[in-house]
Amino acid sequence: MSTWLITGCSTGLGRALAEAVIGAGHNAVVTARDVAKVADLADSAPERVLPVALDVTDPAQVASVVQRAGERFGGGPDVLVNNAGYGYRAAVEEGDDADVRALFETHFFGTVAMIKAVLPGMRARRSGAIVNISSIAAAVTPVGSGYYSAAKAAIEGMSRALRGELAPLGISVTVVEPGAFRTDFAGRSLVQSATVIDDYAATAGQRRKENDTMDGNQAGDPAKAASAIIAAVESGDPPGFLLLGPDALGLYRYVADARAAEIAKWEQLTGGTNFD
Residue 200 bears catalytic tag: no
Residue 134 bears catalytic tag: yes
| Secondary structure of the chain as H, E, C letters | CCEEEECCCCCHHHHHHHHHHHHCCCEEEEEECCHHHCHHHHCCCCCCEEEEECCCCCHHHHHHHHHHHHHHHCCCCCEEEECCCCEEEECCCCCCHHHHHHHHHHHHHHHHHHHHHHHHHHHHHCCEEEEEECCCHHHHCCCCEHHHHHHHHHHHHHHHHHHHHHHHHCEEEEEEEECCECCCCCCCCEEECCCCCHHHCCCHHHHCHHHCCCCCCCCECHHHHHHHHHHHHCCCCCCCEEEECHHHHHHHHHHHHHHHHHHHHCHHHHCCCCCC
Choose the catalytic residue: 10, 134, 135, 145: 134
The span from the CA of 111 to the CA of 116, in Å, is 9
Choose the catalytic residue: 145, 149, 152, 200: 152
Nearest to 215 by CA among 245, 183, 177: 183
Residue 209 bears catalytic tag: no
The span from the CA of 182 to the CA of 220, in Å, is 6
Choose the catalytic residue: 88, 147, 148, 252: 148
- Positions marked catalytic: 134, 148, 152
